[in-house]
Amino acid sequence: DAGVTQSPTHLIKTRGQQVTLRCSPKSGHDTVSWYQQALGQGPQFIFQYYEEEERQRGNFPDRFSGHQFPNYSSELNVNALLLGDSALYLCASTPRLGTSYNEQFFGPGTRLTVL
């Protein structure tokens, strides 16, 4: 059983460009959350998707947007990239609603570098 997968693993962009990151949740999981982790810091919650809708959002500007597809996979889009967007972007998935087990499963992340 594959865990959470993310693509690409590394990405280099320049300021002002747009980027799309992709995530496939663990089998049987229907909720996907995205986190940003700057170097030397803990992950910061960006937003969460469930039933193809954004359900919760952290303190991130509208330049950060997302999407969830019917197969539960998800995309994170960042527009007008800034140098400060350079970070490790983590995707986490959670089992189906109603499951008592509340663990989040994280993918390996996408390392984004903005030059």
Partner 1 sequence: DAKTTQPPSMDCAEGRAANLPCNHSTISGNEYVYWYRQIHSQGPQYIIHGLKNNETNEMASLIITEDRKSSTLILPHATLRDTAVYYCIVRVNRNNAGNMLTFGGGTRLMVKP
Q: Contact positions toward partner 1, by CB under 8 A?
A: 4, 30-31, 33, 35, 41-45, 48, 50, 55-56, 58, 90, 92, 94-97, 102-109
- State the DSSP code for 43: -
Report CA-CA distances (Å) from 76 to 45, 67, 98.
Answer: 12, 7, 26
Closest to partner 1 by CB, 15 vs 57, is: 57
Minimum distance of partner 1 from residue 112's CB (angstroms): 14
Cα-based angle 94, 71, 48 (whole degrees, multiple of 5): 40
Q: In the 8-state DSSP scheme, what is residue 85?
A: G
Cα–Cα distance measured from residue 19 to residue 8, given in angstroms and rounded to the nearest whole number = 11
State in angstroms the smallest separation of the CB of 16 from partner 1. 28
Would you say 26 or 78 has its CB closer to partner 1? 26
User: Which residue, 43 or 66, has its beta carbon nearer to partner 1?
Assistant: 43
Least distance from partner 1 to the Cβ atom of residue 83, Å: 22
